[in-house]
Structure 1
Amino acid sequence: MEETDFRQKIRSLVGDDMYRHALFYHYPDGLRFELSSGDSALDLVLTALNKATAICTNIFEGKESVLVHLQRYAPENRFQLRSTMRELREAGIIPPRNRSVWLEKVTADETDAFDDGYWVQCAFELPVSKVPALLWCALACDFPALRPNPRCLIYLLNLDKGIVAHPYDDRGMDVIGTERPPLEALYVKYKDWLLDYDLDAMKQNFEGTGGASTTQT
């Protein structure tokens, strides 16, 4: 069976510059949701999981599969990569053989947070029923005591709607896309969950005339 070029599929949506952090600030018409509330780590993650699952249920409505894109920083000690795969397996997330794997060098603007090295990229499709497990893995990343916890960046893509969802940790999730109508629908339905800090920019974009870019300068 011919392998699918998932890397090219992702590029067709986000362009040549692979996304990494803060998608909301780098793509027009983005949404940023505030997810967590509570006191304990478990309460924070469970509240975030409930909200993120509701949003993603809408994003992937009618879909049988989700395109998953994992990113993991690769230091000299590759043990962290093995631990990531172990934690993913414990969450029931096993990348199928039909997948794309590639490396990207740490960029100059990332060297404040990372040493010279590479990002290991892995993209594959899973049944949409795996979305809650994927969200847990993403949202638990700041709490080492919670498991499974693969400590990698997780992006969920619906190519038909042109949407990328990035649950960056328990605090929030960015949603970007190439088509405005699906994002407008999410803005209206989940407006109460939008992050207050960036709410004015989102209001201007989705309620103002002509729209406005949220890209940072």
Structure 2
Amino acid sequence: MDIVKEMTHGPYIRYELGLQNLVGEAYRCESLRRARTIYRSIFEPEDNVIFIHRTSYYRCDRQAGKVRLKRFFRARLPQVRSRILPYEFDELDEDLCTREWSVEVKAKEIRVPYLLEAIENTDFMRKPASGGRIYLYNQTKDILFHMYDDRGCDVFSSDKNSLLPLYHLHRKWILDYNRYEIDGFLGKGLAGIIETGEEQKNRRKYNDRKAADLGINLRRANICHITHYFKIPSIHADKFEEEISLTSFTVQRILSTDDQVTFTAAKTEALALIDYQTHLMSMYGKKYGSYNGWSIL
């Protein structure tokens, strides 16, 4: 059985670890803090875990498959299994392949701080380094944990009910880019709020016109403070504010009348990502009231 392949086709949550508004050691510390917190929410010391380490390389390069695993564990390793798989990112690619090592241990036997730091260092040329992609499958809870680098981690399960406690516990850390899809998988938040084809067409047309008016090239680096505007009936205002506050957008009331509240929700991000932002924000507007466009600073 290919655990990774099976699990990654089911319900998931993607968490944001590294924050764009932080740099240097502050960025690194926050990323590791979040990773450790999420890990501890999933694994208990006596849980049965399959530790999976994968590297991909050209089939003709036999030396590329070597890796040191014992450094990730507190005690002597039990039997380690190894196998060659089709290239995990494109099984039809005959030039590349993926080598997998796996070992069954108790969660308490894993050197978790060292492991997470090694993954964190992947893109920074620092030691320790993971030397590949690492997946931790909690057999006891049927949850797969995969921190892919300093930016984020994915949590998968074949049963969405196993993910719901994690969804509620760390909802604010869910990557906004994937939030709408995740809500749909889990039947929470924006689940059931649908954008019609005509609404999508009009939204994207508005975005293109707005970007053109601003003279911004969406294909270049263009970090902006993007503010979205809403008009929400007063009876829904508190619930709207609560739900937006569980994203990484900053929500603010700017005007209240007897029957309506005007809100803003703001986030600093590349304007090239305006499509997902306006989709997400317009769905919140549709759920609670109306969405009235965006501006930048």
Distance change (3 Å), C-alpha of 1:186 and 1:18: closer
State whether residues 163 and 177 of structure 1, in contact with CA within 8 Å, keep that contact through their aligned partners in structure 2.
yes
SS of residue in 1 equivalent to 2:123? coil
Structure 1 match to 2:102: 123
- Cα deviation for residue 39 of structure 1 reads 1.0
User: Alpha-carbon deviation of 1:44?
Assistant: 3.3
| Cα separation, partners in 2 of 1:62 and 1:108, compared to 1, 3 Å | closer
Given the alignment of the two structures, is residue 159 of structure 1 paired with residue 142 of structure 2, yes or no? no
Give the secondary structure class of the aligned counterpart of 2:90.
helix
**Structure 2 residue runs without a partner (length 5+):** 194-297
Q: Distance in 1 between matches of 2:36 and 2:105?
A: 16
Going from structure 1 to structure 2, the CA distance change for 1:43 and 1:127 (only over 3 Å counts) comes to: farther
Quote the sequence identity (%): 26
Taking structure 2 as the reference length, the TM-score comes to 0.54
1:32 matched to which residue of 2? 14
Match runs of 1:29-108 below 5 Å: 29-37=11-19, 38-40=22-24, 42-61=25-44, 63-75=46-58, 76-82=60-66, 84-85=67-68, 88-89=69-70, 96-106=77-87
Cα distance in 2 between the residues matched to 1:110 and 1:66: 26
The code of the aligned residue for 1:39 comes to: V
Distance 1:159 1:211, change over 3 A: farther
Task: Rate the CA distance shift 1:30–1:147 in 2: closer, same or farther, 3 A.
Answer: same
- Aligned mates of 2:54, 2:158 — CA distance in 1: 22
Q: Which amino acid aligns with 1:175?
A: V
Q: Secondary structure at the match of 1:124?
A: strand
1:46-90: CA deviation from partner (whole Å, max 9, x where unpaired):
3222111111111112535432111011334445444x42xx555
Letter matched to residue 96 of structure 2: G
CA separation of 1:35/1:155 partners in 2, compared to 1, >3 Å: closer, same or farther? same
Which runs of no fewer than 5 residues in structure 1 stay unpaired? 1-7, 213-217
Please identify which structure carries the higher strand content: 2
Using the TM superposition, give the Cα deviation of residue 139 of structure 1 relative to its aligned residue in structure 2, in angstroms: 2.3
**Paired position in structure 2 for 1:133:** 114
Instruction: Report the Cα distance in structure 2 between the residues aligned to 1:32 and 1:108, rounded to whole angstroms.
Output: 18
Distance in 2, Cα, partners of 1:108 & 1:36: 24
Aligned equivalents of 1:79, 1:93: Cα separation in 2: 27
Q: TM-score, normalised by structure 1?
A: 0.72
What RMSD, in angstroms, separates the aligned Cα atoms of the two structures? 3.1
In the superposition, relative to structure 1, how do residues 155 and 171 fare at CA in structure 2: closer, same or farther (>3 Å)? same
Could you tell me how far 1:138 is from its partner in structure 2?
Answer: 2.0
Moved more, 203-212 or 188-197: 203-212
- C-alpha change, 1:103 and 1:95, in structure 2 (3 Å) is farther
Distance 2:155 2:88 in 1: 23
Residues 141 and 209 of structure 1: is their aligned pair in 2 closer, same or farther, counting only changes over 3 Å?
A: closer
Contact in 2 for aligned 1:52/1:135 (Cα 8 Å): yes
Closer, same or farther in 2 for the Cα pair 1:108/1:210, shift >3 Å?
closer
Aligned-residue offset at 1:134? 2.1
